[in-house]
Amino acid sequence: MSFASHYSYWATIVLMVLGLYILIARGNLIKKLVGLSIFQTSVYLLYIAPGKLIGGTAPIIAEQFRIYSNPLPHVLILTAIVVGVATLALGLALVVRIYEAYGSIEEDEIIDRDRKAGQDA
Amino acid sequence: MISEHLPILQVVLPLLAAPLIVLFRHATLAWLLAAAASWCSFVIAVLLFFTVPAGGAFDYALGSWAAPWGIGYRIDSASAYVLVLVSLIASVVVTYARTSIAAEVDRDSHYLFYAMFVLCLGGLLGIAATNDAFNLFVFLEISSLSSYVLIAIGRNRRALHAAFQYLIMGTIGATFYVIGVGLLYLMTGTLNMADMAERLAQVGETRPVLSALAFITVGLSLKIALFPLHFWLPNAYASAPSVVSAFLAGTATKVSVYVLMRFLFSVFGARLSLDALHLFDVLVGLSIAATVAASLVALFQDDLKRMLAYSSVAQVGYITLGIALNNADGLTAAVIHLFNHGITKVALFMLVGGIVLRMGTTRFSDMAGLARRMPFTAFGFVVAGLSLIGVPASAGFVTKWYLVMAALERAHWWLAALVVATSLISALYVWRFVEMAYLREPAGEVRRAEAPLSLLIPAWIMVLACTYFGLETSYSLTGAQEAAAALVRGFR
Amino acid sequence: MSPQAAILAALVLPVAGAAGILLARRRPNLREAVTLSCAAALFGCVLLLLPVVLAGGRPAVTLFQLLPGINFAFRVEPLGMLFALVASGLWIVNSLYSIGYMRANREHGQTRFYACFALALACTMGIAFASNLLTLFLFYEMLTLVTYPLVTHHQDDEARRGGRTYMIYLLGSSMALLLVAIISTWLGTGNVEFTPGGLLGNEFTNGEIGLLLALFVFGIGKAAVMPFHRWLPAAMVAPTPVSALLHAVAVVKAGVFTVLKVIVYVFGVERIAGLSSVDWLPFVAGFTIIAASVVALRSDNLKRRLAYSTISQLSYVVLAAAILAPLSVIGAALHIAAHAAGKITLFFAAGAIYTAAHKTQVSELDGIGRRMPLTMTAFAIGAISMIGLPPAAGFISKWYMLQGAVSGAHWNAVAVIALSTLLNAAYFLPIVYRAFFAKSAAGEAVHGEAPPLMVAALCITAAATVLLFFFPDVPLALARLMMAD
């Protein structure tokens, strides 16, 4: 149980925090989506890595193999990837619409323009 | 027998309606299909509600794959209660939707609206029906993704940014949830909630389990807009089309609360979840902050929809307070408030939809003399508002009764006092509307322009329901009590 | 009609009346006919119940379950009977008066006015007949809500301010204190039914009973015990018929009625008599009596003076109940009827003066008795009743209160009653003196009595005040029955 033997978890945590940081720190909507994707990717890793057994193979039953990796996390993460792609696509579509409506994809500029519009009304 | 397959039909019916609607691409046909799907799922939910055995559950194995391998659906009293709530609100809202979206959504995207609506409904029903933690995540994302679209579908450009905000926050919430589920899976090796609960009892308070609890609680708190994670909600509700505000206010946050309760009480068990992490103190603190702060903010809003949205944040505080109190009455209060607040808020948002249609505005100052222009709308708003306050003979009163009782049972006098004090703040913002609508002279000439009946009738059904369920509590209350018992009992 | 049907009719009739009033909104004469006939029918229904109750019957109806273990139910006992009689009887007279007043002053929104009035009476009947705390609480809150449109009738800034104070005090006190008191009672005893002799057993300690009593007394804001009295003067922005029936009879009496009912049927006079933790109540009530009288003495506005007089008189009821001597509790019940007749007369007179002479201040009333002799004679009778002199009803109730106070050796209470009698005289008699004996100011407009309907109404109530002195049998019998239960 050393630091190195948990390296996949460390990678997960680093990715997770990185993604969240980008989400919070960046005002550009596209960059926010990039951060969101990195954040979600960390979860994929969290699920997949423990499914791997050292020396294990794909779970196709055959005479010569005794150890198999757990297939279930892969299936789950396939689903999660689909969800992630859908989210990203929807997010990008929204950004396109926002750009058409506001002429900007910077959050502070959008809020600023909304405020100005509110004052005019 | 078809009745054996009710649990799956409940979810699949609206999900199947969505692609059909997109194929037909016709506004009226889409409406008919969506309405049929919603009403059918309501009938199914009512059937399930009345047939689910007290103290038991319907188990349904998807594709006949038995539980630990396949995905299992499980309808017990708690999930049946939520199914009825969601499908009831969906049915009333979809009936109302036709006239309302005609005014607020471009005609060529009507069919997309209905497709997203049934998709969202299917997702919400799926969350309540499933017994598989990962399947729940998928349904959560189905309902969330479609609700982002629903919010952004109107003509208001602010809705685009609000939907984007909601997308970011919602995805973070759902991802937190799925991280928590992942940790639980690592510790227990199962995704079936019943098995998970059983094995968690053996694993005990290990650090991964506790962090899973933390991740799931925080993720779901984002979804239910628990203070201070509520910032997405007022923007989303205020800028979305009125139908969407009504639908989401009554269902989306409520279903997420159900999931939170399911995990806290059924999967982790109250002893682990509420004691180990001092969740009681955290939840009580946040609930109080939510009710007080959000009520005060609501009091100073200049927009009717935004006021109602902040009021929703405040009311979520009552629900989580009931959860935190963790006794029979507290949980009953939490469950019945899902229902009571659901119908109340839906009624209010539907009436606001009529105001948007006729007045073209939701600014508070434009509501002067509203009672003369739209007497039935204004009066309905007052009646539903009374339920928001929790005046006797309204649905909100039943919640308050149980919440105060739960607080007193645990000898928290100050909590009981806070509950009543915050309901007085809600009295203030409802009364702000009363004074505006009834006691101010309207600007310009007064023309009687009541909302059309197609909007008024569904809205008034909900308004009357607010009163009915305040007087005749046998269904809503007994159901809530059984649901609370089922949540605590878990999967045994 | 069976007694059960009469109870339901008493609840449904005013609601049906309100519906009828709304339907007849385009034809004022028909609308007023609906009000009057509905009031008469309601009084008839209540009268039907009277012999049953006097004979010892306690007719009851249970409709449905509100919460598990608590029903939406009604049960007529003597105290409720007395309150219902007073309220429904005076509604008839008040309707006559309202018609005169609203038409003479060309008030707007008359349909809403009459409809809300009828609904307020329905709530009052609900309060009078409620058989448990929750049913009573339900109607109590409804009464606040349906009287709000009446208080804000004029829809101007003053009305808005008054209405706000009204709502904040009444809704605030009942939600924050009364509701908690009811729930505590329910948690402690598992029962909220009004029970003769009280429903408290030994669940609560001495200190808890004191706290519970405080929650009840202050939570029942309609009883206007200081410091929860500010709503009553604020409600005076309403048209005078509203002040007369609601804020001298129905609403405020609903408050003291509830206090009385809680003390008699929830706590039980014998259960809490002699407990050290309930000693504070006579002092609070006594303070309210004196303080409100002093404020009344200093107010020049006639309606405001009457409002503070009401606050002080309400606390008589609370004080008499708080002494916990059987005779004084009887006095408290009698005072509900006696004060109602007297105070409604005074308000009627104030409204008649406003309608005929457009005067609202006491200092403007010099010589008005010569121009409005009937009105001011009635006013004098009402004032005598307030002071508690024969031959007016106020004397009888005060007599019983004093007897109870003396028998229980509550010398503080005796002193309070004596002092407040002097104060009452000090703020009422000058008005009567000015009206009849002071010289009118020069250039006074010529006017006579108010419209005949209004004068008739106030003569009837003045006569009732005197008649109650000579024939107090029915109220007295009901009050004694209450103690005998």
Report pLDDT digits (tens) over B126-136: 999 999 999 99
pLDDT at A1 over 60: no
- Is A83 in Cβ contact with B141 (below 8 Å)? yes
Q: Sort out which chain B residues have CB atoms less than 8 A from A76's CB and list them.
A: 134, 191
C406 in contact with B, Cβ within 8 Å: no
Closest residue by Cα to residue C292 from C279, C281, C304, C300: C304
Of residues A80, A90, A97, nearest to B167 (C-beta):
A90
What is the reported pLDDT for A121?
55
Residues of B in contact with A91 (CB under 8 A): 164, 167-168
Handedness of CA B253, B257, B262, B264 (dihedral sign): positive
SS3 C193: strand
- Distance between CA atoms of B65 and C37, rounded to whole angstroms? 73
Per-residue pLDDT of chain C (485 residues; tens, 9 = 90+): 788 888 888 899 999 988 988 888 888 888 888 888 998 999 998 888 888 888 888 888 888 888 888 889 999 988 888 899 888 888 888 888 888 888 877 778 888 888 888 899 999 999 999 999 999 999 999 999 999 988 888 888 888 888 888 888 988 899 888 999 999 999 888 888 888 888 887 788 888 888 888 899 899 988 888 888 888 888 888 888 888 877 778 888 899 899 888 988 888 888 887 778 888 888 888 899 889 999 988 888 888 888 898 898 888 888 888 888 888 888 888 888 888 888 888 888 888 888 888 888 888 878 888 888 888 888 888 888 888 888 888 888 888 888 888 887 788 888 888 888 888 888 888 888 888 887 777 666 677 777 888 888 888 888 888 888 888 888 888 888 887 77
Sign of the C-alpha dihedral, residues B82, B85, B88, B91? negative
The whole-angstrom distance between B420's CA and the closest CA on chain C is: 5
What is the residue range of C430's domain? 279-485
Q: Which chains touch B (3 or more CB pairs under 8 A)?
A: A, C
Report the candidate in C451, C458, C387, C392 with the shortest Cα–Cα distance to residue C425: C387
Quick one: DSSP state of residue C67? E
C189 located within any domain: no
Q: Which fold has domain A4-120?
A: Helix Hairpins (1.10.287)
The tens digit of pLDDT for each residue in A29-83 reads 999 999 999 999 999 998 888 877 777 787 788 888 878 888 888 888 999 999 9
Q: Does B421 touch chain C (CB under 8 A)?
A: yes
Each residue's pLDDT tens digit, B334-387: 999 999 999 999 999 999 999 988 888 888 888 888 888 888 999 999 999 999
Rounded CA-CA distance B122/B87 in Å is: 9
pLDDT of residue C227: 85
Cα(C303)–Cα(A51) distance, rounded to whole angstroms?
Answer: 84
Contact across the interface for B141 and A87, Cβ inside 8 Å: yes
**C410 assigned to some structural domain:** yes
Q: pLDDT value at position A3?
A: 67
- Contact status of B78 with chain A (Cβ, < 8 Å): no
Mean pLDDT in residue range A88-93:
94
How many B/C residue pairs have CB atoms within 8 Å?
Answer: 72
* DSSP per residue, B366-434: GGTTHHHH-HHHHHHHHHHHHHHHT-TTSHHHHHHHHHHHHHHHTT-HHHHHHHHHHHHHHHHHHHHHH
Q: Identify whether C464 is part of a domain.
A: yes
Is C262 part of any domain? no
* Nearest Cα residue to C255 out of C339, C378, C365, C161: C339
**Interface list for C 331-390 with B (CB within 8 A):** none
Dist. CA B10–CA B37, nearest whole Å = 9
Q: What are phi and psi of C72, to 5 degrees?
A: -85, 95
Which residues from chain C sit within 8 angstroms of residue B390, using beta carbons?
175
- Position C318 in a domain: yes
Which residue in chain C is spatially nearest to B415 when comparing CA positions?
A: C180
| DSSP character at residue C366 | T
DSSP letter for each residue of C81-131? HHHHHHHHHHHHHHHHHHHHHHHHTT-S-HHHHHHHHHHHHHHHHHHHHB-
Contacts 24+ apart (CB under 8 A), B16-25: B17/B118, B17/B122, B18/B115, B18/B116, B18/B118, B18/B119, B18/B122, B19/B115, B21/B111, B21/B114, B21/B115, B21/B118, B22/B111, B22/B112, B22/B115, B24/B111, B25/B111
* Amino acid identity at B315: Q
Domain residue ranges in chain A = 4-120
Per the structure, how many domains does chain C have?
A: 1
**Do A86 and B145 count as a contact with CB atoms less than 8 A apart?**
yes
Say which residues have a Cβ less than 8 Å from residue C221's Cβ, sequence separation at least 6. Answer: C169, C170, C172, C173, C174, C178, C228, C231, C255
State how far Cα B337 lies from the chain centre: 10
Is C194:C133 a contact under the CB 8 Å cutoff? yes
Question: What pLDDT sits at residue C442?
Answer: 66
The model's confidence at residue A2, banded by pLDDT at 50, 70 and 90, is low
**What is the DSSP track for chain A?**
--TGGGHHHHHHHHHHHHHHHHHHH--BHHHHHHHHHHHHHHHHHHHHHHH--TT-B-S---TT---B--SHHHHHHHHHHHHHHHHHHHHHHHHHHHHHHHS--BHHHHHHHHHHHHHH-
Name the helix (H) or strand (E) containing C310.
helix C302-323
Cα radius of gyration (chain C): 21
Residue whose C-alpha is closest to residue C79's, from C326, C332, C248? C332
CB C96 within 8 A of CB C457: yes
Residues 6 or more apart in contact with residue B388 via CB below 8 angstroms: B311, B315, B344, B345, B348, B396, B426, B430
Tell me what the mean pLDDT of segment B296-306 comes to. 90
Cβ <8 Å between A87 and B167: yes
- The string of pLDDT tens digits covering residues B324-333 is 888 888 899 9
Q: Which residues contact A104 (CB under 8 A, 6 or more apart)?
A: A98, A110, A113
Task: List pLDDT tens digits, range B441-457.
Answer: 777 777 788 888 888 99
Q: For chain C, list the contacting chains (3+ Cβ pairs, <8 Å).
A: B
Interface check for C25 against chain B (CB to CB < 8 A): the answer is: no
User: Inter-chain contact A90–B148, Cβ cutoff 8 Å?
Assistant: yes
Q: How far apart are CA B157 and CA C244, in angstroms?
A: 55
| Domain residue spans of chain B | 2-489
The answer to whether residue B418 neighbours chain C at the CB level (below 8 Å) is no
Tell me, yes or no, whether C403 lies in a domain.
Answer: yes
pLDDT of residue B215: 93
Indicate if the pLDDT at residue B37 is higher than 90. yes
C109 in contact with B, Cβ within 8 Å: no
Instruction: Report the chain B residue with the minimal C-alpha distance to residue C66.
Output: B471
Phi, psi of B75 (to 5 degrees): -110, 110
Would you call B179 and A36 a contact, using CB atoms and an 8 Å cutoff?
Answer: no
Mean pLDDT of the region B75-98: 92
Residue that has been written with the tokens 């691409």 in this structure: B25
Nearest one of C146, C31, C122 to B379, comparing CA atoms = C146
Q: What is the pLDDT of residue A120?
A: 61
Q: What CA–CA distance (Å, rounded) separates C319 from C313?
A: 10
pLDDT score of B175 more than 70:
yes
CB B289 within 8 A of CB B157: no
ipTM: 0.92
* Nearest residue to B142 (alpha-carbon basis) of B170, B122, B164, B165: B122
Residues 6 or more apart in contact with residue C399 via CB below 8 angstroms: C331
Q: How far is CA C129 from the centre of its chain?
A: 15
**Is B409 within 8 Å of chain C by CB?**
yes
Looking at residue C194, its amino acid is: F
Tokens linked to B436: 């505006």
Q: Does the pLDDT of residue B94 top 90, yes or no?
A: yes
Residue at C23 is within a domain: no
Strands B72-76 and C60-67: unpaired
The verdict on residue C223 lying in a domain is no
What average pLDDT does chain B have? 89
- Chain centroid, CA C390 distance in Å: 22
**Spatial separation of the C-alpha atoms in residues B108 and B155, rounded to whole Å:** 12
Q: What is the dihedral of CA C246, C248, C251, C253, to 10 degrees?
A: -140
Phi, psi of A68, deg, nearest 5 = -120, 150
Is the confidence at residue B288, as pLDDT, over 80? yes
pLDDT at B466 over 80: yes
- Closest of C3, C89, C65 to residue C340, by C-alpha: C89
Q: Which of C334, C346, C350 is nearest to C301 (CA)?
A: C350
Nearest C-alpha in A relative to B303: A118
- Cis bond leading into C59, ω under 30°? no
